[in-house]
Amino acid sequence: MTTTTTTSSPLTLASVQQAHELIKPFIHLTPVLTSTYLNTLASTPQTPSALSNTEWSSRPPSSPVLRLHFKCENLQRIGAFKARGAFHAIARLKQSPDFDPSRGVVTHSSGNHAQALSLAAKTSQIPAYIVMPSISNPSKVAATKGYGAQITFSGPTAPEREAAAQKIISSTGATLIPPYDHPDIICGQGTAALELLSQVPVPLHAIITPCGGGGLLSGTALACSEIKTKVFGAEPSFEGADDGRRGYYAGKRVESVKSLTIGDGLRTPLGKIPWSIIYTRKLVDGMYSVTEDQIKAAMRLVYERLKLVVEPSAVVGLAVALYNEDFRKMVEEEAGKEGWDLGVVFSGGNVSLSALGDLLKE
């Protein structure tokens, strides 16, 4: 399935900058927060007992120095960074002579892109058709309906979602706006990193973002493509949800994922276009994964110390910085005593109150 638009953005830093100019009237400039406590925790070696049942149990704990800068996209419109890509894709689509607004737009998404596209389409008075897996978070389904979209439920896998979207395209003539595998989406998502770089008063040594389909990570890589700031991806390891990491180090994209990780926004396989930026062009410097318990622990810390509501997918980058010894050892070796200023993107905060209670309970 492809869109009918002929205005897709080149995959460059300039395109990310142009995307930011287009969407600034429609998005929030989300804040960047810091925490002395979390900096201290990230810069303290893990205890041997914490590592006892891990792959790092036989080596001394690493001692990185990390200063964390949190880009709070959980405070973005619709509660997630996805608003950036959706508003940019709609703006670019409206510039195409091939686009008929009355036919609408269609996408398939587990939740955040669904909400984002629904809002962006409503803002431009364009019909939106959304395919959502039947196992989608109920709060995300309700929010998507609230923006006026027409929802069709499907099976959980990418092929099932795509088949349902194709039926809608055939019957309505709607234009597909994929959740991550499209240049306009990628460039829109990269604007979060563009802002982050300008909001932090010191040069960032690196930025780490969650990686599902790869739109945010590849967009971040484009935003950093002409500077020295390194870019890293973070994923859950549960049931093979770390397809991006596995593919990155094997040199071959993993094309399917079947995982019920609590990071529900990260259950999709890495897209072809993000892969071309992340791996083929080598614009991402490494990929790391964390466990479900580590994700929950990071969520609890964010809630208790930053007083922010974040969904599980949002904190995988922080969890990597706190708990992944391969990442921490790399920082220790590369940065030494000076340490790193690390940008951490909190991708979203769309989690129901009942689910939040279950995730944070002891």
Enzyme catalytic residues = 82, 110
Q: Give the list of residues 6+ apart from residue 116 with CB closer than 8 angstroms, or none.
A: 77, 78, 80, 82, 83, 84, 85, 86, 87
Q: How far is CA 43 from the centre of its chain?
A: 25
Cα separation of 305 and 303, whole Å? 6
Cα–chain center distance at 88: 16
Closest CA to 287 of 204, 211, 179, 197: 211
129 neighbors 185 (Cβ within 8 angstroms)? no
CA–CA gap between residue 205 and residue 65 (Å, rounded): 12
Give dist(CA 132, CA 140) in Å, integer: 10
Cross-strand pairs, 72: 346
- Alpha-carbon separation of residue 169 from 3, 129, 179 (angstroms): 10, 9, 16
Report residue 235 CA to chain centroid gap: 10
For residue 351, count other CB atoms closer than 10 A to its CB: 26
Query: CA–CA separation, 65 vs 300, rounded Å?
Result: 22
Cα dihedral 190, 312, 109, 33 in deg (nearest 10):
-30
Tokens matching residue 127: 């019909």
Tokens of 44: 């303290």
Helix 191-199 crosses helix 82-94 at what angle (to 10 degrees)?
A: 120
Helices and strands, counts by H and E, the chain: 16, 10
